[in-house]
Amino acid sequence: VIARFNEIVTNRLLEGALETFRRYSVREEDITVVSVPGSFEIPVVAQQLGKSGNYHAILCIGAVIRGDTTHYDAVANSATSGVLSAGLASGVPCIFGVLTCDDMEQALNRAGGKSGNKGAETALTAIEMASLFKHHLS
């Protein structure tokens, strides 16, 4: 599930995730990309996808960048707790790939810049958790 808000960042995170999935031989037909308006909307979609029974893991990608109001705190906290709740409610690992950054530079650094690509890192987490569930919890 990818948020369109701050898409200059989220598209780079998605590219990193998709490249990682390819590198680890995840078949393209096993990947579904669902776009939502922003990070606040990610959890409800992740939960419903998880409950569908069609997915082994749900990767949640977004970018919340601090502004001059408290909106950042509300969205960041809601996305964080919402993704956790989605995984618990659906029984499917919902992987938190939502950046919460102070500014755009920091976000871009984490989306393929100096700090690597957090999309790639969270894709690895999704692969590991899907495998763990398949081999130990099914």
Verdict on whether the full-model pTM lies above 0.85: yes
Known active-site residue 71: yes
CA-angle at 54, arms to 49 and 2, nearest 5°: 40
Tell me the three state secondary structure of residue 96: strand
Token pair of 112 as six digits: 């393929």
Domains of the chain by residue range? 2-136
Q: Residues 56, 71, 135, 136: which is the catalytic one?
A: 71
H helix runs in the chain, sequence order = 7-23, 42-51, 71-90, 104-109, 118-136
Six-digit token string for 81 = 């707790």
Q: pLDDT truncated to tens, each residue of the chain (138 aa)?
A: 999 999 999 999 999 999 999 999 999 999 999 999 999 999 999 999 999 999 999 999 999 999 888 899 999 999 999 999 999 999 999 999 999 999 999 999 999 999 999 999 999 999 999 999 999 986
How high is the pLDDT of residue 29? 96
**CATH code reported for the domain at 2-136:** 3.40.50.960
